[in-house]
Amino acid sequence: MTNKIFKNNINITVLVTSASQREITLQTVNYYSQICSEVIFIDEQKPYLSETEVNRLTLKGIIYIPYEFDSQKGLHNSPYKKRLVGANVSKNEYLVHSNHDERYTTLGLLECVKELENNKELSFCIGQAIAIRKNNSKIHFTRSYKNLSAYENINNTNQRLYYHAETYAPLAHYSVWRKQSYIDVTEKTIETHESLHSSTILEEIIFELAADIEGNSKAIPELFWIRNRINPPTNTLIERGEHVFEIIQNKLEILLSDIDDLKIEILMSSFRRHFTFVRPSYLERIIIFIKRNLRKIFKKKQISNINSLLIDNRILYDKDDLSFVIESMTQ
């Protein structure tokens, strides 16, 4: 199935980075090549693609960039440096980074670009998210990041930072961006991480708050992001302990050093409430244990009819577009 209506019609660059699972990544870049004017595949997996394989991608308008991981700089820096390489090559005014096994809808991309074109005070824009899952070979869907349903972070810098920390979701990583703003935020993130080489599971926070420094953001009501919960995660490490928050606070002090009258302790308080799994108290451990076992018994609400899920959550979507996306993720 191909999306003939929107073929190469969206003037946006999609950056797809990968360190493993190349076959899945190739499916992803092929999907985006059918709807977007530019797709850049930054590949860290060795051996790199052969000249013949690269030529096949080129014929589809996919730019292939082999990437050498710099182990001296630390693992936490690698994702952002890869994305920066791709962003600097991109030729479009707008860009978005995609996980190697996930999808953005055609409608979501179009509407985010339109929002940025019509609202010059925005630096980045996202839409609504759902997750696709499989249980006993049966596909079902769940809502992701419900707080995006009314997300609008348009204010001064301090208030943007407070609001994002309080209503946290990793939305900046998966938003449509103005190209130069994305480059500036990525460079600031890399600079912060290189100032303090310790890394934790919460490294994403630095990019997220650097994005808030850059400018305003919002979430539109259209379906935008399909999370992949069928494909097993490539990184299952969960680091716990107070030192995780201490490292993030130290990095935030570097990142936010030029912002007057900002109380970092307010931000950290919000993150501690959100990331309870990092440093659970005795009571929280009991609650987490109970929740896990309840999930095993009852499982998360499973909805096989994706249309019902979207309608119930008042998410706008296009049926043909949705079918095209789901088929590309379940083939």
Residue 142 lies in a domain: yes
Which of 104-140 are b and which e, b meaning 16 or more Cβ less than 10 Å from the residue's Cβ? bbbbbbbbbbebbeeeeebbbbbbbbbbbbeeeeeeb
Residue 127 lies in a domain: yes
- Check residue 285 and give its pLDDT: 58
Residue 53 lies in a domain: no
Residue 212 lies in a domain: yes
Contacts of 118 (CB under 8 A, 6+ apart): none
* Tokens matching residue 89: 């090559």
pLDDT, mean of each 10-residue run, the chain (331 residues)? 63 95 96 96 96 97 91 65 97 97 97 97 98 87 95 98 97 98 97 88 95 98 96 68 92 97 98 84 59 54 82 96 93 76
Q: Where are the alpha helices (DSSP H) in 103-145?
A: 106-118
- Check residue 125 and give its pLDDT: 98
Spatial CA neighbour of 199 closest among 256, 235, 164, 239: 239
What pTM does this model have? 0.90
DSSP letters for 203-245: THHHHHHHHHHH-EEEEEEEEEEEEE-SSPPS------SHHHH
- Check residue 292 and give its pLDDT: 57
CB 160 within 8 A of CB 212: yes
Residue 268 lies in a domain: yes
What's the number of domains the chain is made of? 1
* Tokens matching residue 120: 């010059």
- Check residue 76 and give its pLDDT: 53
Residue 126 lies in a domain: yes
Residue 224 lies in a domain: yes
- Check residue 252 and give its pLDDT: 98
Question: By residue range, what is the domain housing residue 234?
Answer: 104-330
- Check residue 198 and give its pLDDT: 82
- How many Å apart are CA 250 and CA 189, to the nearest integer? 14
Residue 21 lies in a domain: no
